[in-house]
Amino acid sequence: QVQLVESGGGLVQAGGSLRLSCTASSGFFSAYVIGWFRQSPGKERAFVAAIGTSDGGTQYADSIKGRFTISRHNDVNTVYLQMNNLTPEDTAVYYCGALGVGPWTRQYDYAFWGQGTQVTVSS
* pLDDT tens sequence across 55-102: 669 999 999 999 999 999 988 999 999 999 999 999 999 999 999 888
How does residue 113 score in pLDDT terms, banded at 50, 70 and 90? Answer: very high
Give 101 or 43, the one with higher predicted confidence.
Answer: 43
pLDDT of residue 28: 84
Give 68 or 31, the one with higher predicted confidence.
Answer: 68
| Amino acid at site 51 | I
Cα distances from 93 to residues 30, 51, 61, 76, 90, in angstroms, run 24, 19, 16, 24, 9
- How far is it, in rounded angstroms, from Cα 77 to Cα 96? 13
pLDDT of residue 4: 96
Cα distances from 105 to residues 49, 54, 58, 114, in angstroms, run 8, 18, 11, 17
Strands 34-39, 58-60: pairing is unpaired
User: What percent of the chain lies above the pLDDT cut of 90?
Assistant: 85
Give 76 or 26, the one with higher predicted confidence.
Answer: 76
Residues with Cβ within 8 Å of residue 43, at least 6 apart in sequence: none
How does residue 46 score in pLDDT terms, banded at 50, 70 and 90? Answer: very high
